């Protein structure tokens, strides 16, 4: 449902029908969904901010301007964490994000127009960054455009929640109805029809009984007049009340739908710590790696030439550092990788988040004597 469609629901013949209805509709079709979506966005953005973007030059790890820009300061007004948070939010909420490369800096466009072609480069114009509107146009090769799919996932969630939100509101109304206090007042209502008598009757019902049913009142006294009898007709007396868990289950369904849409494990979205390692692995595989790989491909094809990439000059988004693992759990794996020459001492230090040693031995590879090449093993004997 678009914003304009939502607003029009509360107008009739150009007049606003009810601000109360407007408030209830907003609470039903906005806040639960907003909480679930915002949680997913923050999870993905926070995880991406923890990733190290490694840059390579001719196959060797290289820290230059590109590395500094993407890991520390993309532009003079933002750090890398704030930059990628904004990029992910625009990517999810607007289904795309345009990044401008200018003088070794990166800027996120707040709005833009694009003219797409089949056999020529797309052209971008009317690009606005903050309060500044750029006069020039950009070709596809001059910008970074993050766009994973052609379907706006939020529009799908909106359509799904349009009906489910009404179910939540219906459950809330039913909960109030079944748990409300209702009484039947029996009495002799053959009385004088004058204002003074009617005022006394109204006072009994509107004021005295109002305090009687007020849950915030610590103690209340009620004087039942002669000729009247009160009978409790509430559902709570017969055990027909409903529990608030029925509403909570419907809200849980909303979180489940949003988690499914963003491929975020449901337990992780709700803060459930059971099987947190497996949940984190699934989150990295299905929710984080796809946008990270899309960003990686887009930066590599725009920031580097084809020849540079084929000569192994590229960047890579390392998502392995998101999980915090106990160093004791890694000891055996590091020992085996070091023993077969996969990791050097500096490689292990970098994986642990420590600075490499400035010594030749830190970059040397070691292999234990237990290993030999296959050709020597097949020949047998000693040299």
- CB atoms inside a 10 Å sphere around CB 330: 14
Percent of the chain surpassing pLDDT 70: 64
pLDDT at 93 over 80: yes
Inter-residue contact 43 to 259 (CB < 8 Å):
no
SS3 65: helix
- CB atoms inside a 10 Å sphere around CB 191: 12
pLDDT at 18 over 50: no
What are the pLDDT digits (tens) for 356-376?
Answer: 888 788 888 888 877 777 666
pLDDT at 336 over 90: no
Of the two residues 159 and 290, the one the predictor is more confident about is 290
Distance, in Å, from the CA atom of 262 to the CA atom of 256, rounded to the nearest integer, reads 10
Residue with tokens 């007020």: 214
Inter-residue contact 159 to 261 (CB < 8 Å):
no
Distances (CA, A) of 148 to 153, 290, 346: 11, 8, 36
What are the pLDDT digits (tens) for 189-204?
Answer: 666 677 887 777 777 6
What are the pLDDT digits (tens) for 256-268?
Answer: 878 888 888 888 8
pTM of the model: 0.67
DSSP summary character for residue 78 = B
Inter-residue contact 155 to 2 (CB < 8 Å):
no
pLDDT in the model for residue 168: 60
Of the two residues 279 and 236, the one the predictor is more confident about is 279
Distance, in Å, from the CA atom of 152 to the CA atom of 170, rounded to the nearest integer, reads 28
Distance, in Å, from the CA atom of 274 to the CA atom of 84, rounded to the nearest integer, reads 29
Average pLDDT of the chain is 77
Distances (CA, A) of 123 to 60, 108, 126, 142: 35, 17, 10, 10
Long-range CB pairs of 269-272 (<8 Å, 24+ gap) are 269/36, 269/39, 269/40, 269/43
Task: Identify the band that residue 15 occupies on the pLDDT scale cut at 50, 70 and 90.
Answer: very low
Indicate the length of the chain as a whole number.
Answer: 383
Distance, in Å, from the CA atom of 348 to the CA atom of 355, rounded to the nearest integer, reads 10
What are the pLDDT digits (tens) for 212-240?
Answer: 666 666 666 666 666 666 666 665 555 55
Closest CA to 264 of 97, 87, 90, 43: 43
**Listing from the earlier edge strand, what are the strands of the sheet with 105-108?**
105-108, 97-102, 143-146
Torsion sign over Cα 331, 332, 335, 337? negative
pLDDT at 299 over 90: yes
Alpha helices of the chain — where are they, by DSSP H?
3-8, 19-26, 32-50, 65-71, 80-93, 153-179, 195-203, 209-212, 235-238, 245-262, 266-270, 276-282, 289-303, 306-310, 327-339, 345-351, 374-379
Task: Identify the band that residue 122 occupies on the pLDDT scale cut at 50, 70 and 90.
Answer: very high
pLDDT at 306 over 90: yes
pLDDT in the model for residue 304: 93
Using a 10 angstrom Cβ sphere, with 0-12 exposed, 13-18 middle and 19 or more buried, the burial of residue 206 is exposed
Q: At what angle do helices 153-179 and 80-93 cross, to 10 degrees?
A: 80
Distance of CA 296 to the CA centre of its chain: 21
Of the two residues 55 and 250, the one the predictor is more confident about is 55
pLDDT in the model for residue 7: 41
Closest CA to 6 of 29, 36, 31: 29
Question: At 147, phi and psi to the nearest 5?
Answer: -150, 110
């Amino acid at each position: 449902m678009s914003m304009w469609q939502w607003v029009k629901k509360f107008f009739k013949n150009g007049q606003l029908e009810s601000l109360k209805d407007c408030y209830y509709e907003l609470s039903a079709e906005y806040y639960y969904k907003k909480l679930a979506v915002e949680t997913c966005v923050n999870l993905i953005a926070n995880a991406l901010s923890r990733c190290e973007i490694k840059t390579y030059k001719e196959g060797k790890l290289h820290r230059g301007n590109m590395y500094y820009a993407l890991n520390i300061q993309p532009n003079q007004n933002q750090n890398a964490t704030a930059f990628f948070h904004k990029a992910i939010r625009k990517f999810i909420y607007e289904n795309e994000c345009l990044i401008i490369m200018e003088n070794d800096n990166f800027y996120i466009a707040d709005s833009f127009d694009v003219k797409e072609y089949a056999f020529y480069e797309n052209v971008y114009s009317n690009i606005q960054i903050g309060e500044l509107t750029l006069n020039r146009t950009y070709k596809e090769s001059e910008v970074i455009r993050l766009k994973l799919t052609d379907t706006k996932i939020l529009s799908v969630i909106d359509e799904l929640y349009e009906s489910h939100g009404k179910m939540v509101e219906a459950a809330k109304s039913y909960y109030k109805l079944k748990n409300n206090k209702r009484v039947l007042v029996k009495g002799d209502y053959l009385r004088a029809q004058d204002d003074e008598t009617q005022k006394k009757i109204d006072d009994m019902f509107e004021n005295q009984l109002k305090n009687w049913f007020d849950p915030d009142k610590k103690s209340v006294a009620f004087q039942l007049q002669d000729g009247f009898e009160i009978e409790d007709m509430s559902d709570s007396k017969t055990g027909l009340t409903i529990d608030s868990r029925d509403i909570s289950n419907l809200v849980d369904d909303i979180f489940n739908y949003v988690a499914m849409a963003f491929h975020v494990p449901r337990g992780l979205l709700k803060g459930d710590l059971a099987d947190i390692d497996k949940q984190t692995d699934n989150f990295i595989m299905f929710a984080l790696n796809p946008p990270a790989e899309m960003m990686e491909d887009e930066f590599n094809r725009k920031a580097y030439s084809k020849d540079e990439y084929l000569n192994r000059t590229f960047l890579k988004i390392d998502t392995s550092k998101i999980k915090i693992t106990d160093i004791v759990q890694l000891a055996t794996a590091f020992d085996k990788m070091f023993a077969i020459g996969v990791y050097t001492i500096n490689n292990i230090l970098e994986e642990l988040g420590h600075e490499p040693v400035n010594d030749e031995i830190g970059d040397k590879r070691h292999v234990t004597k237990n290993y030999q090449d296959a050709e020597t093993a097949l020949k047998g004997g000693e040299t």
